[in-house]
Amino acid sequence: MKKFYSKVLPLILFISVLIISCSDDNTTTNPTDPGSGNGTSQSVTSDQRQIIEFDGFRLEVHTGDVPRNSNGTAGTVTFSLNTSSTIESGIPPVTSGYSVIGKYLKAGPESFTFNSPVQLFFPAGNESSPQDLAVLQYSDATQDWRIIPTSAIDTAGKKIGVDLLSLGYYVLVKQNLSDNTDFRQGGCMYDCPPEPFMNYILTVQSVSPEKPSILSQYSGGLIGQAYMGPIFLGCQTDRTKAIVPQGSISFWVTRSNCQANPPVIETYSIPAPVTVSDPLVFNGWSTYDAQVYVPFCLPAGGSWVAGRPENWPPATVPVGTGILQATLTWINTSSNAADLDLHLFGPNNLHIFWQNTTSANFSLDRDWQSQNGNAIENIFSTTTSVPSGDYRVNVAHFQGFAKSFNCRVIVNGSVTNFSGNLGGGSVDVRSFNIP
């Protein structure tokens, strides 16, 4: 429920502002298809592992990646992949230092932190080698594209993989590099003797690159970036490798038993340092290996401690999902915050929103106001069938700054995304009919 404070404004003015903020009079109706491209969706629980493929892209979700519910039961998350040959309206193009390879990908849910990294693979098309290929992610916070370092290479499928604790908007590119700039990426690998049935994850704890300016190209300045080893049927099959800038890097090393459910995550108490002095050189797609991954192991004097690395964000408690799910996401900061509201209109005068959170078939289970962080509002169906008729999903600007947002709507497995910027009034993000 919203909280209002009227210590300064008179009551009449306060009511006027409230009416303007919540009114549907400024609604702009959009087409049924928001233009987010083709897509697919699939629900996965905390106790499952799942591979989701669409249009050459592949998302690998491992047992334990989906956070559990607050009461300890298995949570459920609906993942989605949407692709498009053209960039979303309002998003700046990739800079001239990169050449776009293939399609843009919107992966969801957005503004959601997983318990452990999922792995996302991008088709490299006709590229002759993984050399100089990189995944870029668009940042709403900085309004530009940043590198997500490569953590896996599918040599047979000619795909580039990245490990992610949250999802968003991506494109695969080729970096236009030359030897005299030498921003080329190097590589290292965790080379301690493996323990039976253990998966190992590396997370960047600190980095001191040979060329410090390179960090501005990376999402989050590279800190907190995770790298997993190759996984088959839930268990690791080879050493964990990391493609990184040349320089000195320290990693948190995390392990989990691939046969445990739920997996028990432990992190070594002392970061493991490594120095990478040379760029990687790949020999086509013939092998995962390149010249040269620098080996490193755990430093002496530490111990395994239960828990995730300290620079992983807290996992998000899963929101509700069903045959119909609408999820609104945006980012609030201390200097730029807003309160956006999600509305669902439907037959029999249905209207689900912050003042009417439940009905016989629907619920709003997450109402975000102006708190800092990754904001989420979510409406979902609570029954296996819902009344037939016309439905409309609407996003309203309640108060605060103008905000860029994304609203993902899933109806019987059909997924669309609507991205926009709202500083007042409201906008319809999807209209549809359920027979």
pTM of the shown model? 0.87
Helix (H) or strand (E) holding 18: helix 11-22
* Residue 110 CB contacts under 8 Å (≥ 6 apart), including other chains: 166, 167, 168, 327, 329, 374, 406, 408
- Cβ proximity of 78 and 325 under 8 Å: yes
How confident is the model at residue 396, as a pLDDT? 97
Question: What gap in Å lies between CA 119 and CA 153, rounded to an integer?
Answer: 11
pLDDT at residue 54 in the model = 96
Q: Tell me what pLDDT residue 201 has.
A: 97
Asked whether the CA dihedral 52, 56, 57, 61 is positive or negative, the reply is: positive
CA dist., res. 434 & res. 129, Å (int): 47
Give the pLDDT score at 90: 86
Tens digits of pLDDT across the chain (435 residues): 454 433 333 333 333 333 333 333 344 444 334 444 589 999 999 999 999 999 999 999 999 999 999 999 999 999 999 999 999 988 999 988 899 999 999 999 999 999 999 999 999 989 999 988 999 999 888 889 999 999 999 988 999 999 999 999 999 999 886 555 557 788 999 999 989 999 999 999 999 999 888 888 888 789 999 999 888 888 888 899 999 999 999 999 999 998 888 889 999 999 999 999 988 888 888 765 677 899 999 999 999 999 999 999 999 999 999 999 999 999 999 899 999 999 999 999 999 999 999 999 999 999 998 889 899 999 999 999 999 999 999 999 999 999 999 999 999 999 999 999 999 999 999 999 999
> What topology is assigned to 38-306 in CATH?
Chondroitinase Ac; Chain A, domain 3 (2.60.220)
- Rounded Cα gap, residues 253 and 273, in angstroms: 10
Q: For residue 297, give the nearest of 239, 231, 244 by alpha carbon.
A: 239
Closest CA relative to residue 102, chosen from 119, 77, 85, 121: 85
- Of 264, 266, 236, nearest to 254 by C-alpha is 266
pLDDT for 162 equals: 96
Measuring CA to CA, which residue among 276, 269, 274 is closest to residue 253?
269
Burial 186-221 (b: 16+ CB within 10 A, else e): bbbbbbbebeeeebbbbbbbebebeeeebbebbbee
Domain map of the chain by residue range?
Answer: 38-306, 319-434
The answer to whether the beta carbons of residues 272 and 251 sit under 8 Å apart is yes
At 17 the pLDDT is 36
The answer to whether residues 57 and 66 touch, using CB atoms and an 8 Å cutoff, is: no
> Tokens 């993984």 — which residue?
130
Which pLDDT value is given to residue 20?
A: 34
